[in-house]
Structure 1
Amino acid sequence: MNNPLVSIVVPCYNQGQYLDEALQSILEQTYENWECIIVNDGSPDNTEEEAKKWILKDTRFKYVYSKNKGVSHARNLGIAIAKGELILPLDADDKIGQNYIKKGSELFQENPSLKLVYCLAMKFGDENGEWNLPVFSLENLSKDNLIFCSALYKKTDWYFIGGYDEQMKSGLEDWEFWISLLKNGGEVVQIKEVEFYYRIKKSSRQTDLTNDNRKSLFEYMSIKHADFFVKQLGTFKHLDSVIKSTKSEFKNKLQSKKFVIDLFCTTFFHFSIFGLYKKNK
């Protein structure tokens, strides 16, 4: 893999107002061998109008329209027509740092067996600051998603695992994709610099995800990747045993006068110190 073409796939549904910022961050990349496929997922806003401006600005930008079928379908559609060896998904309301593709592609050139490259991230928009994610491990991945959607991987790996699961229209499709990609092994490298910017909004697919939908998605993933979750977390019997043991231990502690007194004193001390701090501030 020498100076590989990187295909950036940008699905867009009702995010036309943010699209300029996302595409500008691609145009400013220090790595020049890229193409960007903008996928209009049947958006009723001005996505098409905004996208066509960029096609005229730089021929590396491409545009495709689809009826609204969800982000998994939009990504799969863009990746299917992508010509790059490496894929980088980017949501239309997020941004990437100008050296992200350069650093990521270099890592793949140095290590052809690499499966995934991501980086440090910052939040912006309604919330600002560093996005602190757990350190990557398969065990941590089994507990929650800890890699944002904008990570680099090979198109051949996307093809091998069958792409993004289009059944997961409500959300969590990124988490499921990373499990499919990594559960059987493969090296993951995190670039220790901020090269991804995640927009926080009051309303998003994540914030709008209902408890019922989330429960349904968890059940679906538990069945689809039962082998992975059992390997990382243990069987349901083991988990039940751990829960019972933890409850029993805590119950015994609560029955211990010393434990209760110590807990009360520690809590009272912390509140007292906090009260003095607020008073003297």
Structure 2
Amino acid sequence: MSQPLISIIVPCYNVEAFIKKGLQSIYLQTYTNWECILVDDGSKDNVSGEIDIWVKKDSRYKYIYQDNEGVSSARNKGLDHATGDYILFFDPDDLFSTNALENLISLAKDDIDIIIGKNAITNGQNYDIVEYLVHYSKPLLKVSNQDKNLIKIVVEEPIICVAWNKLYRRDFLKTHNLKFKKGVLHEDELWFFETLFKANAVIFNNEPTYFYNVTNLNSVINNMGLKNLKSYLEIIEYIYEQYYKTETNKTNKELISIYITHLKIKAILHCYKQLNKKDRLEAKPIIEACFGRVTPVRTKKILADSFETLHYHFKLVKLLSPNLILRYLRYYKSSRIMRQIKAKWILKKATKTNNSKNRTIVDVR
């Protein structure tokens, strides 16, 4: 039986300092039937010289150059040139474990569209694990998406919304014409939603296959600002217009609403709170305008759970009044629900001091 070909797509922009180690971790894979498509996104450093070394060393490496258009465009270019049965995205400042491809492909089945790897966090481009990104609590178990329940799992766990370290069946991506949205930051948030919403089933592996380097200061993830917030809001509006408003199934519509609420919370907790005072003043009317346009109906449980999540980030929440947060997130459709949520918030506030030593702070990524 022939081994499936894996196309590894690597967007490259000014990563000369990291790419040697990154590509070496691909070269050392125990699973050998792969191609590596390196898309140079108009780098200003000598990354092309580093890539050329590997292209000459091994024909499985393929080099493509394009003018600087961003990571979404680079990944899409890689998808256009990929010939494999499976697609895998990799950032060159990170590392694979030596058995990453073997581990992931061993879970491949015709009815599974996405195989999701476990991610370790490192301080630097190395294998010294600091902690793990949140991973599904039931690995090696096929998760059917018949009721679109994958979206709910992502929010409840909460699983990190990234494109890398996942094997995608190429036929699945082609059937649904899935590409990255150009011109936005946090493109992975949208890609993650679209792929999980359309997948028939996924499976999670149970050992770390990807080592995510959090110390690269050039990473988009490490550069929060007003532009990042605006991109989050653009993604929220896109999902609302393209998916929520066109969906006719009531259950699916509610699950899309859950993800939109999830992104609204992330926009506040991981973008708004990073802004300086001046940018916050500019951001507030932008948030209000977006959240005013994006108003999916929510159930009472979604509202209460979402507001409780905000409470865990009390240092941010206490800066805003309950009414302001409620207005931002459009959580309430009646005064009764508003009173219930406000009462819960006040109770949490009153008990926070007594419980602070024993409570684990929950981070919605």
Secondary structure of 2:152 counterpart: helix
Distance 1:250 1:84 in 2: 50
2:284 match: none
Secondary structure of 1:68 counterpart: coil
1:112 match: 110
1:157 match: 172
- What runs of 5+ residues in structure 1 fail to find an aligned partner? 274-281
Deviations 1:40-96 (A, max 9, x none): 011111110010011122121111111111112111211211221111110121111
Give % identity. Answer: 26
CA contact (8 A) 1:115 1:182 kept: no
TM-score, normalised with respect to structure 2: 0.64
Deviations 1:206-239 (A, max 9, x none): 2324322322232223222323972305572335
CA 1:253–1:217: 2 relative to 1, 3 Å: closer
- 1:88-127 equivalences under 5 Å are 88-108=88-108, 111-125=109-123
1:278 match: none
CA 1:115–1:253: 2 relative to 1, 3 Å: closer
Distance 2:86 2:353 in 1: 52
Distance 2:355 2:174 in 1: 57
1:50 match: 50
| 1:216 paired to 2:207 | no
CA contact (8 A) 2:9 2:38 kept: yes
- What runs of 5+ residues in structure 2 fail to find an aligned partner? 137-142, 144-149, 258-294, 304-330, 359-365
CA 1:267–1:192: 2 relative to 1, 3 Å: same
CA 1:3–1:215: 2 relative to 1, 3 Å: same
The structure in which a higher percent of residues are strand is: 1
2:152 match: 139
| 1:195 paired to 2:209 | yes
| 1:249 paired to 2:340 | yes
- 1:167-182 equivalences under 5 Å are 167=182, 169-182=183-196
2:289 match: none
Distance 2:112 2:8 in 1: 18
The structural deviation recorded for 1:269 is 7.2
Distance 1:3 1:230 in 2: 39
Deviations 1:136-188 (A, max 9, x none): 83214368763432211111222222232333x23222232232223134211
Distance 2:343 2:231 in 1: 37
Secondary structure of 1:165 counterpart: coil
Letter in 2 for 1:237: V
Letter in 2 for 1:23: L
Higher relative contact order (CA 8 A, sep 6+): 1
Deviations 1:244-268 (A, max 9, x none): 355412544688xxx69x945x734
Distance 1:116 1:254 in 2: 38
TM-score, normalised with respect to structure 1: 0.81
CA 1:185–1:65: 2 relative to 1, 3 Å: closer
1:12 match: 12
CA contact (8 A) 1:118 1:147 kept: no
The structural deviation recorded for 1:4 is 0.7
Letter in 1 for 2:236: F
The structural deviation recorded for 1:100 is 1.3
CA 1:270–1:238: 2 relative to 1, 3 Å: closer
Letter in 2 for 1:152: L
Corresponding pairs, count = 265
CA contact (8 A) 2:11 2:75 kept: yes
Higher Cα Rg, which structure: 1
CA contact (8 A) 1:122 1:198 kept: yes
CA 1:128–1:11: 2 relative to 1, 3 Å: same
Secondary structure of 2:78 counterpart: helix
CA 1:14–1:270: 2 relative to 1, 3 Å: closer
Secondary structure of 1:39 counterpart: strand
